[in-house]
Amino acid sequence: MSDQPELDQPVATTIEALLGPDSPKNWGKWGPADEVGSLNYLDAAQVLRGVAAVSSGEVFTLQVPIGDPERPDPVWPGREPAVRTPVMDEGFFARGEEPEPSDGHHWADDKIEMFTQGSTQYDALAHYWYGDQVWNGYPADTTVGELEKASVLPIAERGVVGRGVLIDIARARGKEVLDSGEPITLDDLLAAAQAQNTTIEPRDVLIIRTGWIGSYYRSSGDDFYRDWNEPGLVYSRELVDWFQRMEIPNLVTDTIANELSFYPGGLQLPLHCALMRNLGVTFTELCQLDALADACAADKRWSFLYTAAPLKISGASGAPVNPVVIR
């Protein structure tokens, strides 16, 4: 596997032209009212398969901190980091801004303002689309004001539990972090799995480590955002066919958008359309995977129980989540 795989120059300048009229779709596979897509693959048998992957009982949480005053949350350019504001604490009593309760109790309270996709999060299936339809063929105008169909709420109500498998692309390439704009092809993904002596099985929750989010906490914000183009999976019909054939329910990465950000010619995030819109693959983004990856590398066990449930936000295009992995 090369350090810097070659990225074919797409001749298309629109998502629709790139994917073509015969792009694989799972629309209707689970009925006309489905709103969770490929998560339907995670039936009880897949839950038990995930449980069977637990052997040491180690627990890892994958969410980045929200509202850390020492380090602003990493967010997609154009979004703003979360802001936590105290609305009650001992200072309010000390300043006389809050009457002293007769029984002497004091308390702390606060609020947070943030983008629903401003932390480790799940995308709703209707978050990203092209043409005039979102996942399962729902009209694009069902997103006006709120996501009436395929919002993050049905994903949150269902929850996600299954066998997870980590493919550490950064480690396979001998790097702490992939370079800005460094692509990952299907061949790269399979080669890294082979190097780990890991088999990606049908219906696995696929977790890919690039080292990107970990690098944010070792760099200045300016360095992280300079010449912005996240590394990640790149579109190919072969890759999309593989996702459909393998019945992958959930793609999880340590990048903000789960795929290469920009392509020559102005294309942006085509896999959001090819995998999320067309196949119903849920995207979990902005995970911190370094500690999990170190543990997997230490004992050469790359599969585990993956569990997650985003916040139940009605009509939202995404929601924060703290995935829990048990090895």
The tens digit of pLDDT for each residue in 301-323 reads 999 999 999 999 999 999 999 99
pLDDT value, residue 222: 81
pLDDT, tens digit (0-9, with 9 covering 90-100), for 213-228: 999 999 887 888 888 8
Give the whole-angstrom CA distance, residue 325 versus residue 112. Answer: 26
pLDDT at 65 over 70: yes
Backbone angles phi, psi at 300, to 5 degrees: 60, 30
Q: pLDDT band at 3, cuts 50/70/90?
A: very low
pLDDT value, residue 8: 54
Q: Residue 291, exposed/middle/buried by CB under 10 A (0-12, 13-18, 19+)?
A: middle
Comparing 26-30, 127-131, 173-177, 264-268, the range with the smallest average pLDDT is: 264-268
Comparing 19-28, 100-109, 194-203, 263-272, the range with the smallest average pLDDT is: 263-272
pLDDT value, residue 10: 47
Nearest to 136 by CA among 120, 121, 154: 154
Lookup: tokens for 128: 């990203």
Give me the count of residues in the chain.
Answer: 327
Residue whose token pair is 């943030």 = 114
Give the whole-angstrom CA distance, residue 235 versus residue 258. Answer: 12
Q: pLDDT band at 112, cuts 50/70/90?
A: very high
CATH fold of the domain at 15-70+116-326? Glucose Oxidase; domain 1 (3.50.30)
Give the whole-angstrom CA distance, residue 118 versus residue 134. Answer: 22
Share of the chain above pLDDT 70, in %: 97
pLDDT value, residue 263: 87
pLDDT value, residue 135: 98
What residues contact 77, with CB distance under 8 A and at least 6 apart? Answer: 225, 228
pLDDT value, residue 221: 73
Contact 279, 244 (CB under 8 A): yes
pLDDT value, residue 12: 80
pLDDT value, residue 6: 52
Contact 133, 149 (CB under 8 A): no
pLDDT value, residue 264: 80
* Comparison of pLDDT for 71 and 142, the residue scoring more: 142
CATH 3.50.30.50 location in the chain: 15-70+116-326
pLDDT, tens digit (0-9, with 9 covering 90-100), for 4-17: 445 554 468 899 99
Give the whole-angstrom CA distance, residue 210 versus residue 148. Answer: 34
pLDDT, tens digit (0-9, with 9 covering 90-100), for 146-172: 999 999 999 999 999 999 999 999 999
pLDDT, tens digit (0-9, with 9 covering 90-100), for 33-62: 999 999 999 999 999 999 999 999 999 999
Give the whole-angstrom CA distance, residue 314 versus residue 123. Answer: 13
Does the global pTM surpass 0.75?
Answer: yes
Give CA 301 to chain center in angstroms.
22
DSSP string, 143-203: GSSS-SSS-HHHHHHH-EEEEEEEEEHHHHTT-SSPPTT-EE-HHHHHHHHHHTT--PPTT
DSSP 8-class letter at 323: -
In sequence order, the β-bridge partners of residue 305 are 163, 326
pLDDT at 267 over 80: yes
Residue whose token pair is 């480690």 = 171
pLDDT value, residue 1: 45
Contact 147, 309 (CB under 8 A): no
What residues contact 218, with CB distance under 8 A and at least 6 apart? Answer: none
pLDDT value, residue 7: 53
Give the whole-angstrom CA distance, residue 34 versus residue 279. Answer: 12
